[in-house]
Amino acid sequence: MSALPRLRVGIVGLGRLGRRHAENLAQRVPNVDLVAACSPVDEELAWAGDALGVPNLHGDYHAVLSQADVQAVFLVTPTSLHPQQIIDGLLAGKHVFCEKPLSLALADCRRVEEQAARCPQLKVMIGYGRRFDPSYRDAYDKIQAGLIGKPFLVRSQNLDMNDPSGFFVRFAPTSGGIFLDCTVHDIDLARWLLGNPKPSRVFATGVVAIHEGLREFGDVDNGIATCEFADGKMACFYASRTMAHGHETLTEIFGSAGRLTVGQNPRLNRVDISDAHGVRNECTPTFYERFEDAFLREEIEFVQSVLEDLPPALTLHDATEATRIGIALRESLQTRRVVEL
């Protein structure tokens, strides 16, 4: 093994999250060379060159695909671009990692699945990063080991700190709504932790607690949902954009012999403060502080799956199912009916 195999990758999209992926790929993921970066924003490209030393900088995605030494692309682009960019990447012979969700439209999810099926030698993975978080992984392993008997119910929630500026209200027309934007993570976790059961019907509802501007888009800032599966298992979801204390991703798995809880208290770190406010801990302000390590690990696992020709930890079908259930939740919210799947 004196010549260690390495993977040459290009990063596509250098926004807030894209920069994080780029830094990891340049500095922390073993056996990777970040050989290309792509963004329509000149300043972002300049940063990639200066701070990370990326040698090839492109304003256009197809220029990345044309770069022969690029073996894999990391797509951190707007959701609406995901399906075609994945397909184009596959057609260009590149392995593809793409941030979640796969798409907001089921037909597009399936188009991507079909193209991927035609390229079995290429790896495609959608970045449902919570699966790579060490605590979630530990919970999954404990379930597999039988620690809680037979799991029958997952409750999972994705609570974001309130942004008083209401920035995300402007994003509402394209976000797909709270369930497709936030709850897809919980949907993916529930399916994974329950053994990939088939969904049978869903019910969703919600409240506008603060951001009245969401009403015109049929959206809410606090959404509640229930999903039943064909095998009798269940999942309950809660998503919120109005928390005061920080970002909180919390998942409980109930089994016939015990319960696992992941993320009970969204501690920022191991510091407790005892003062006039009581005994307290600060919280992770955003999902990034909570899942910083998971992002790194999903990158490492994807690279490893390519270098060692292993199946990725989650399939395109998983990503399609998350979108499918998310769409059903939105429909239930908007029609006020139970939706059969």
254 binds a copy of itself (CB under 8 A): yes
Q: Provide the CA 77 distance to its chain's centre, in angstroms.
A: 13
Which residue number, 66 or 264, has a Cβ lying nearer to a copy of itself?
264
243 binds a copy of itself (CB under 8 A): yes
Nearest distance from C-beta of residue 178 to a copy of itself, angstroms: 14
Strand ranges, E, within 13-115: 32-38, 56-58, 72-75, 95-99
Q: Residue written as tokens 């942004």?
A: 163
Nearest to 19 by CA among 82, 87, 74: 74
Query: Which position among 15, 40, 59, 134 is part of the footprint of a copy of itself (CB under 8 A)?
Result: 134
Which residue number, 26 or 125, has a Cβ lying nearer to a copy of itself?
26
Which one of 33-41, 69-77, 191-199, 200-208 is the stretch in contact with a copy of itself (CB under 8 A)? 200-208
**Residues 65-124 interacting with a copy of itself (rule: CB under 8 A):** none
Which one of 62-70, 118-126, 169-177, 227-235 is the stretch in contact with a copy of itself (CB under 8 A)? 227-235
State how far the Cα of 235 lies from the Cα of 181, in Å rounded to an integer.
Answer: 18
Which residue number, 201 or 317, has a Cβ lying nearer to a copy of itself?
201
337 binds a copy of itself (CB under 8 A): yes
- Which residues touch 314 (CB under 8 Å, ≥6 apart)? 125, 126, 128, 131, 188, 192
Which one of 106-114, 172-180, 181-189, 222-230 is the stretch in contact with a copy of itself (CB under 8 A)? 222-230
Nearest distance from C-beta of residue 190 to a copy of itself, angstroms: 13
State how far the Cα of 157 lies from the Cα of 168, in Å rounded to an integer.
Answer: 19
Neighbouring C-beta atoms of residue 201, cutoff 10 Å: 15
56 binds a copy of itself (CB under 8 A): no
Angle (CA) 106 111 112, round 5°: 100
Which residue number, 209 or 310, has a Cβ lying nearer to a copy of itself?
209
Count of residues of this chain found to bind a copy of itself when the rule CB under 8 A is applied: 78
Nearest to 32 by CA among 88, 92, 90, 72: 72
**CA dihedral (195, 105, 302, 17) positive or negative:** negative
Nearest distance from C-beta of residue 95 to a copy of itself, angstroms: 21
Q: How far apart are the first and last CA of the chain?
A: 50
Nearest distance from C-beta of residue 39 to a copy of itself, angstroms: 18
14 binds a copy of itself (CB under 8 A): no
Angle (CA) 71 293 191, round 5°: 85
Nearest distance from C-beta of residue 311 to a copy of itself, angstroms: 24
Going from the C-alpha of 21 to that of each of 194, 200, 219, 283, the distances in angstroms are 29, 36, 30, 23
Which residue number, 91 or 273, has a Cβ lying nearer to a copy of itself?
273
State how far the Cα of 184 lies from the Cα of 240, in Å rounded to an integer.
Answer: 13
Query: Which position among 56, 80, 84, 242 is part of the footprint of a copy of itself (CB under 8 A)?
Result: 242
Nearest to 237 by CA among 204, 274, 282: 204
What would the x/- binding string for a copy of itself be over residues 260 to 289, using CB under 8 A?
Answer: xxxxxxxxxxxxxxxxxxxxxxxx------
Nearest distance from C-beta of residue 49 to a copy of itself, angstroms: 7
Going from the C-alpha of 204 to that of each of 177, 185, 228, 251, 265, the distances in angstroms are 12, 16, 12, 18, 25
145 binds a copy of itself (CB under 8 A): no
208 binds a copy of itself (CB under 8 A): yes
Query: Which position among 42, 69, 114, 138 is part of the footprint of a copy of itself (CB under 8 A)?
Result: 138
Half-sphere exposure of 125 (CA within 13 A, CB side): 23
What would the x/- binding string for a copy of itself be over residues 147 to 176, using CB under 8 A?
Answer: xx-x-xx-x---------------------
146 binds a copy of itself (CB under 8 A): no
